[in-house]
Amino acid sequence: MQVLELGDPRRMGDFTLIGRLGVGGMGQVFLGRSAGGRAAAVKVVKAELAEVPEFRARFRQEVAALHRVGGEWTAPVLGADTEAVAPWVATEYVPGPSLQQVVESGYGPLPEATVHALAGRLARALRAIHGAGLVHRDLKPSNILLTVDGPRIIDFGIARALDTVAGSLRTSTGVVLGSPGFMSPEQVRGQRVTPAADMFSLGSVLVYAATGRLPFGSPELGLHALMFRIAEEEPDLTGVPQTLTGLVAACLAKDPQRRPTAEQLAVHTGTDTDGPWLPAELLAELGRLAARMLTAETPPQGSPTPTRSTRRRWPALATAVALAAVATGTVLALHDDGEKDPATGGAPAAVSNSASPSAEPGVPDEFVGAWEGVVEGDSDLPKRVLRLEISPGTTGDKAAAYIDTDGDAQCTGRSKLLSADADTLVVGKGQVTARVPQGSCTPLSEQTLKVRSRDVLVWKSGGLTADFYRSAGGRDAVPDQYVGTWVPANETYREKELIRIAQGPIGGRLVRMSVTAGMDDGTEQYCDSTFVIGAVSPVLALSPAMYTAQSGKGCRQPDSVFLTVGRDGHLLLYSMAADAEPAEYVRKS
């Protein structure tokens, strides 16, 4: 957020403007606050658009339609004045990062279960928008905000008002009738746009959420080439989970008549997961950021101050939570289960470790952070590695997120805090939120953690005991010694196998493997796969393989993989699928 500039309005209707959020095709977007303290994104129309009678008439119609949407996963309209010298509309400010911020500069591509939930919830949001007679026309990752209880679509409907003046203002600065990477073929061709265009954009959004890339290539490769591929070529669905390819391919049909409607998609997709809909790493970071903001001060009214994150990790999330604090005058803790506290008028209850006679026991600071340990086997021959993310919280809160990388599965989940004192933490049985591969995951049993030293915890659960050590998190969690491209140490196989390890956060698909094998009949079979990183120390723990491309039916590696770097700098790969010595790799020169 930026401070208000000289000449910026200080008030629009009942909303006090306290900062600049950005600029769009219509005009400037401000952060506002109602008299009751409710945060709002206030969009003020550009002067040159406000002077066009056709635009103002269409804008008036669109705002009236927006009032009718009331979708479960959209940002509702809080106020508007279409007759003012500078027309404006205020929608609810959503305190969460955009899908683009999470994928590009934070978490990375989202897990399969999360993308499924995203598809179902966005379908229901579009159903509400289309049911109100609106077409979004610019559905893209930056217009989808992620919160602990679901996604929110913003900036819907207004784009159609620009159509009335597109002939005279199409080349004006900032006037965009769609985002190239997410436009439909009919938008590219300048044809009539219907709700089916939003469904095509939804297909592109889901590819982006699952893989981190666009189905028709990057705009950086050339705008005209990108538009040609959207209009004429088939999408590249490499890396999209098989359970999603049918749904995505249907949305990306060139013929609008062949795409599913939002209603049809909503009927055939779910919105629920076995637990929180977002990955544990992301939920844990949202919780930590909210708790750290409990002591944030609200700047005096009329003296807007820019909000800055004090941590290097997850800057987009820090900014989103900070803006919510400035806008409302209070900071609310984020509960991943969306529970409300009646004592706060329906708002989520705040998390605090402050001692008081009536306060519930909170998580001591000594426990807060990321911890990892080998719970079966050892660092020389790991068989099971567990990562815990302990967040601030009180009894009953889901304060422990975990990723359990076992021999044949990787299970992600959360556990509630049962009790806490100065040196002991007890969390309950886990609730599974995601799994690789899809199938059954056994939740973790009750866990007990005791402080041994500042950087070591003694972990006990289900008859197992292990030492847990503090671990890295955030965008740069992967140790540098792993990052790069690796080939087999045996020169005979160097042209047949490749491992690429990228830097990024825990829970991301950061490891890719390509293997080409000769068959008995003289042909060759290839297997390309990705792996989710579940832990980074003392070993790199990877999920079972998720195949993105293959020939034949021989690509089967059902078990997890563990990587270490030896003293000689060689990468050692342990696979529970192979009862043999670890495979050895060297950096590709």
Give the contacts of 523 (CB within 8 A, at least 6 positions apart).
none
Tokens representing residue 220 in the block: 């950086």
DSSP run (H or E) holding 126:
helix 112-131
- Burial code of 525-540, b = ≥16 C-beta within 10 A, e = fewer? eebbbbbbbbbbbbbb
Q: Which of 14, 81, 138, 559 is catalytic?
A: 138
Q: Burial, 483: exposed, middle or buried (Cβ in 10 Å; 0-12, 13-18, 19+)?
A: middle
3-state secondary structure of 243: helix
DSSP run (H or E) holding 563:
strand 561-565
Torsion angle, alpha carbons of 43, 48, 53, 58, to 10: -30
Residue the block writes with tokens 């669109």? 62
DSSP string, 170-234: TTSTT--SS-GGG--HHHHHT----HHHHHHHHHHHHHHHHHSS-TT--GGG-HHHHHHHHHHS-
DSSP class of residue 73 equals: T
155 is catalytic: no
566 neighbors 572 (Cβ within 8 angstroms): yes
Question: Phi and psi of 195, rounded to 5°?
Answer: -55, -25
* CA nearest to 62, candidates 135, 161, 164, 166: 161
Distance of CA 277 to the CA centre of its chain: 10
- Paired with 388 in beta bridges are 371, 402
The length of the chain, given as a count of residues: 589
Q: Which segments of 24-94 are extended strands (E)? A: 27-33, 39-45, 77-81, 88-92
Tokens representing residue 36 in the block: 């009751």
Residues labelled catalytic: 138
